[in-house]
Amino acid sequence: MSDKLQWPETVDQAVGVLLGLLPDGEKDKIAAMSQDDLVVLHLGLGMWIRNNLGLWSENSALLESARSQNPDDASVVIIEALWRRLREATPKVH
């Protein structure tokens, strides 16, 4: 089976892949970050996203979903979407 068949086609699907793969501790760390601090994920998690979700290859559907022509920019969109999803799932302390 080709990797291409397994690539997520939307940002939401890409976030789902990450939620399934990331250990809970990493999810907690990402959720606790400020949006401005997400840039530190660009070389680690961002590189994994670009390399493994087809952004350097032929996954034009995911690039289009991220509204980007550039794999670097698309990975930022995906990381920010992941961060928002994780923060929605984090219980709020009042």
This prediction has a pTM of 0.89
* Per-residue pLDDT at 6: 83
Mean pLDDT of 69-76: 96
C-alpha 42/C-alpha 30 separation (Å) is: 12
C-alpha 5/C-alpha 17 separation (Å) is: 14
Domain ranges for the chain, please list them: 52-88
Task: Name, in order, each residue with C-beta under 8 angstroms of 63's C-beta and a sequence gap of 6 or more.
Answer: 55, 69, 70, 71, 74
Task: State percent of the chain over pLDDT 70.
Answer: 89
Sign for the CA dihedral angle at 75, 23, 33, 11 comes to positive
* Per-residue pLDDT at 14: 98
* Per-residue pLDDT at 79: 98
